[in-house]
Amino acid sequence: MLNSIKIILVGTSHPGNIGGAARAMKNMGLSELCLVAPRAQFPHPEATFRSSGATDLLDQITIYPTLEEAISDCTLIAGTSARSRHIPWPLIDPRGLAAQAAQELQQPEHKLGLVFGREDRGLSNEELHLCHLHVHIPCNPDFSSLNLAAAVQVLSYELRQAALAQQAATPEPAEAPAFGTEWDAPFASGEDLERFFTHLETTLIDIDFHDPNHPRQLMSRLRRLYLRARPDTHEINMLRGILSLTQKAAHSRTEKP
């Protein structure tokens, strides 16, 4: 389970936090760390120092220009969020996420992408809308901003506890949405989903439902709806087939004044 988890740090400012995150991960048996558009210089001696020997993780870091690219191989994408957002999104706590991951990651083709935002302002709404779930670490409402490496520590700790519990022979009853284990098609990847959303938006423009100049949160609401359902690859193909025929109808209609 633990080697099917990718920790993704978006826009990190302090190289020490990259090192601290690597140390926290390695302590808990996680190994895949990547960065999206870091604001910190990397590699950096402070990152190496704070990693306290987890340099193997630092050496293998991949840097991506966008979050879309970082999550393209993930089947479950969870973004950490301190605040409650404008549009409510499926929200889970670290223990709940760990339980769900333990169940889903039993299948080798599944992969969890766990996304952490900037030190000063977290993830943008656009970034959060790329995620199936938002994870909130319950904390003191009057002092709620965790250090980045500390947040990675808490989530990594919960994931390890869930992995250990799973190893301990007795399989847990399936609390989490049960479409993880026995499904008839693999979940769509982040890349499949983004292609679908792009296709959906184009189609909605074609049929005059969507005006990108007056978006009215439309795409955010549609993302939230479809991401909640966790579409599989078969379903994405079906939805895209519907979109293609919708576009065909739109393009061949008689224009009227």
Instruction: Out of 41, 63, 211, 234, name the contact with a copy of itself by CB under 8 A.
Output: 234
User: Helix (H, G, I), strand (E, B), or coil: what is residue 161?
Assistant: helix
Residue ranges of alpha helices (H) inside 212-251 are 218-229, 233-251
The piece of 34-42, 47-55, 69-77, 120-128 that touches a copy of itself (CB under 8 A) is 47-55
Give whichever of 72 and 247 is closer to a copy of itself, judged by the CB atom: 247
Instruction: Out of 4, 80, 81, 100, name the contact with a copy of itself by CB under 8 A.
Output: 100
Q: How far is the CB of 241 from a copy of itself (least distance, A)?
A: 6
**Interface with a copy of itself in residues 159-188 (CB under 8 A):** 160-161, 164, 173-179, 182-184
**Interface with a copy of itself in residues 7-46 (CB under 8 A):** 20, 23-24, 26-29
CB atoms within 10 A of CB 96: 16
Token reading at 52? 């306290």
Q: How far is the CB of 11 from a copy of itself (least distance, A)?
A: 18
**Interface with a copy of itself in residues 107-146 (CB under 8 A):** 133, 137-140, 143-146
Q: How far is the CB of 200 from a copy of itself (least distance, A)?
A: 9
Q: How far is the CB of 93 from a copy of itself (least distance, A)?
A: 5
Instruction: Out of 33, 99, 131, 193, name the contact with a copy of itself by CB under 8 A.
Output: 99
Q: How far apart are CA 189 and CA 111, in angstroms?
A: 9
Q: How far apart are CA 205 and CA 210, in angstroms?
A: 5
User: Helix (H, G, I), strand (E, B), or coil: what is residue 115?
Assistant: strand
Q: How far apart are CA 29 and CA 9, in angstroms?
A: 18
**Encoded amino acid at 131, one letter:** C
Residue with tokens 């284990």: 181
Backbone region of residue 112 per phi and psi (left: phi > 0; alpha: psi in -120 to 50; beta: other values)? beta
Q: How far is the CB of 207 from a copy of itself (least distance, A)?
A: 4
